[in-house]
Amino acid sequence: MASKTKITVVGSGYVGMSLSLLLDQCNEITVLDIGQDRADKINSRQSTVSDAEIQLFLAGKVFTRDLYGSD
């Protein structure tokens, strides 16, 4: 199995949130954002934007670490 590419997405608004989830399909993603409330939402499997499909994806996602790179 090939190793996953590490990608950092800056911002978790409409564009960043959607892009992060799409890129996460085949890559290792770290999301950076200045908003602690957004970090808390993502790590609680809640979308930072109003989008039902993103919320459904997050609900089924298993996080192995903090998405905001504070390993």
| pTM for the structure as a whole | 0.68
Residue 6 has pLDDT above 90, yes or no: yes
> Could you state, in order of their start, the residue ranges of all structural domains in the chain?
5-60
Q: What is the DSSP string of the chain?
A: -PPPEEEEEE--SHHHHHHHHHHTTTEEEEEE-S-HHHHHHHHTT--SSS-HHHHHHHHH---SS-TTS--
Residue 71 has pLDDT above 90, yes or no: no
- Burial label, 28 (beta-carbon count in 10 A; 0-12, 13-18, 19+): middle
- The tens digit of pLDDT for each residue in 19-64 reads 988 898 889 888 888 888 888 887 887 788 888 888 877 776 655 5
Contact 49, 42 (CB under 8 A): no
Res 63: pLDDT: 55
